[in-house]
Amino acid sequence: MAKTRSRLPDWFRTRLPTGELQRKFNETKSTVTDKTLHTVCQEARCPNIHECWAAKDATFMVAGQECTRTCKFCAVGSVKVPPPLDENEPQNLADAVATMDLNHAVITVVNRDDLPDSGAAHYRKCLEAVRMNSPNVSLELLCSDLAGDHSALANLLVGLELDVFAHNVECVPRLDMKVRDRRANFAQSIGILKEAKRLRPDILTKSSIMVGLGETDSEITEALRLLRDAGVDLVTIGQYLAPSPKHLPVDRFPEPIRYDEWSEQIEDMGFLGWACGPLVRSSYKAGELLARASARLRTEKE
């Protein structure tokens, strides 16, 4: 018998923008379309797309709109051999960020296991192009695990002007085989985050965990400890929502008060910044999270 999809609790209701906010949302959508860009807001069907785009904030996805991996939670399409990289993408991305007049830009990527460096050189070109066009924009890279290749990571990060290096562990370690592609795992992800901090201690590192995949509360706490032990500075926790009946079913819907308790744990562990809530995604209000973390750092140094 086919599994029925879980009914969303009342706290998942979102409001569509109207009036001036609707106009700003339409402007953002037109910019993305005109520059032939892909955003994780669209590809991953983010529930916050109207809120973020109406606020003139977007997370761009580079290196194509299809991934070489088949994680069981993700709405992004999968293909064994993606099309060649778009040589015009770095400049198109830079033009879009400048046109949208962003304060903080998040650049995320699909996995490109078909490329020798997993796409690291292309990601760097994209970030450098944005920096050249928009020197005052703070930059965040939500990166793949680069197949665990620390040399590719070094080629990407050394000397790069970047404010936040993010990579999502996605779930607790026990659920790796159930949730993620066989080429991904918690240990490999932690290794990339630790190496990023070693290579660039001046850059904030960030990760994200989804809940509702079959984990326990104690496993979430332990995963947070592992992230903090790896030097991760920023973390987000949000509810997993199945993109379709073919994806993993939702196991549970923790109530909003549970996210408040996780926030208290995160603060006690010494993270610099966090966002926890049912609708939170890894790039949700990323600029605000960076600003709060930076202010916290300045206070600690005084």
- 117-169, pLDDT tens digit by residue? 999 999 999 999 999 999 999 999 999 999 999 999 999 999 999 999 999 99
Place of tokens 């984990």: 215
Question: What average pLDDT does the segment 33-61 reach?
Answer: 62
Which pTM does this prediction carry? Answer: 0.88
pLDDT in tens, 177-199: 999 999 999 999 999 999 999 99
The pLDDT value recorded for residue 7 is 66
CA atoms within 13 A on the CB side of 159: 5
What sign does the dihedral 235-57-69-241 (CA atoms) show? positive
CA distance 59 to 68: 20
* Triad 48, 49, 50: Cα angle to 5°: 95
Rounded to an integer, what is the distance from CA 142 to the centroid of its chain? 5
Q: Can you give the length of the chain in residues?
A: 302
What sign does the dihedral 171-172-173-177 (CA atoms) show? negative
Output the average pLDDT for the chain. 87
- Which two structure tokens, joined as six digits, stand for 202? 């001046």
- Yes or no: say if 132 and 160 are a contact pair by the CB < 8 Å rule: no
Using the predicted structure, report yes or no on whether residue 3 has a pLDDT greater than 60.
no
Percent of the chain with pLDDT over 70: 80
Question: What average pLDDT does the segment 169-173 reach?
Answer: 98
- The larger pLDDT score, comparing residue 215 to residue 56, is at 215
Q: Is 273 exposed, middle or buried (0-12, 13-18, 19+ CB in 10 A)?
A: buried
Percent of the chain with pLDDT over 90: 66
Nearest to 285 by CA among 40, 48, 30: 48
Domains and CATH numbers, the chain: 15-301 (3.20.20.70)
Rounded to an integer, what is the distance from CA 195 to the centroid of its chain? 18
pLDDT in tens, 14-29: 555 556 656 656 666 6
Nearest to 145 by CA among 178, 172, 108: 108
- Which two structure tokens, joined as six digits, stand for 79? 């293909």
- Yes or no: say if 233 and 272 are a contact pair by the CB < 8 Å rule: yes
CA distance 77 to 56: 26
Using the predicted structure, report yes or no on whether residue 42 has a pLDDT greater than 80.
no
